[in-house]
Amino acid sequence: SQKTIIAPSVLSADFSRLGEEVETICQAGADWIHLDVMDGHFVPNITFGPPVIKAIRNRTDKVFDCHLMIAPADPFLGAFADAGCDIITVHAEATTHLDRSLQAIRDLGCKAGVSLNPSTPETVIEYVLDRLDLILLMTVNPGFGGQAFIPSVVEKVARVRAMIGPRPILIEIDGGVTPETAPLVARAGADVLVAGSAVFRGGPEAYAGNIGALRAAA
Ligand code: DX5
Ligand code: ZN
């Protein structure tokens, strides 16, 4: 729908021209910029960290939505806040003291998110709902762009929607989001759609059309 937030993941951008890519994707209609931070330890891939985020921060005023796939996360939260992240999301599976990590993110002045892998039950967030601004449900196993959407997570989206009730918490979906899969999660209650390959495929001339197709499908 029109109100669905589209958050392109720069994981699928041309890293040699990252600043330009961020500007182009914002002009093409991106609502947020999704930043996939990987450590080669929690996930089997390595991407970028605070210095790169800081370098692209002046290219746009859009929300920087930082998805930390790192363990531990706590020692680095301050650096990501300083780099200009607006939302910082940690993985429940990578965090021993989830309640403490979420408090720390809000204490830094950022919105706090938690992410769950496809196999992680939503019950792990039952007691931290009041500390959350966003719940990121992975629809692929994290680590790489371009993987196939795991349909069993659609049921989890609906369960999380019921669990959060009237709380102002956004549900974000990440992994394998395309115009074909977007309606499944939008119908189940998703507010934010992350997309890497479905946005960046076809190069800069295709970005606006790709984002428009996702928005129309959702
Ligand atoms: C996966 C990342 C995703 C990924 C999405 O670990 O968290 O954000 O880049 O890429 P697509 O949309 O290609 O599945
Ligand atoms: Zn992500």
Residues in the annotated binding site: 9, 34, 36, 67, 143-146, 174-176, 196-197
> In the sheet that 5-8 helps form, which strands lie side by side, from edge to edge?
5-8, 192-195, 170-174, 134-138, 111-116, 87-91, 63-69, 32-38
91 lines ligand 1 (CB under 6 A): no
From 12, 114, 139, give the residue whose CB has the most ligand 1 atoms within 8 Å, as the site to mutate.
12
| Active-site residue identified among 36, 39, 133, 191 | 36
What are the residue boundaries of the structural domains of the chain, listed by start? 5-217
The mean pLDDT value of the chain amounts to: 98
Which tokens is 36 given? 């996939």
pLDDT digits (tens, 9 = 90+) for 173-199: 999 999 999 999 999 999 999 999 999
Ligand 1 atom closest to Cα of 11? 9
**Tell me, what's the pLDDT at 1?**
65
φ/ψ of residue 201, rounded to 5? -65, 140
Instruction: Note if 65 is an active site residue.
Output: no
Q: Is the pLDDT of residue 2 over 80?
A: no
From 33, 153, 197, give the residue whose CB has the most ligand 1 atoms within 8 Å, as the site to mutate.
197
Instruction: Note if 74 is an active site residue.
Output: no
- Bridge partners (DSSP) of residue 174 are 138, 194
* CA–CA dist 62, 90 (Å, integer): 20
196 lines ligand 1 (CB under 6 A): yes
pLDDT tier at 168, thresholds 50, 70, 90: very high
CA 136 to centroid of ligand 1, rounded, Å: 12
113 lines ligand 1 (CB under 6 A): no
Provide the CA 141 distance to its chain's centre, in angstroms.
13
pLDDT tier at 102, thresholds 50, 70, 90: very high
Question: What global pTM score does this model have?
Answer: 0.98
Query: Contact at 8 Å (CB) between 10 and 33?
Result: yes
Report domain 5-217's class. alpha beta
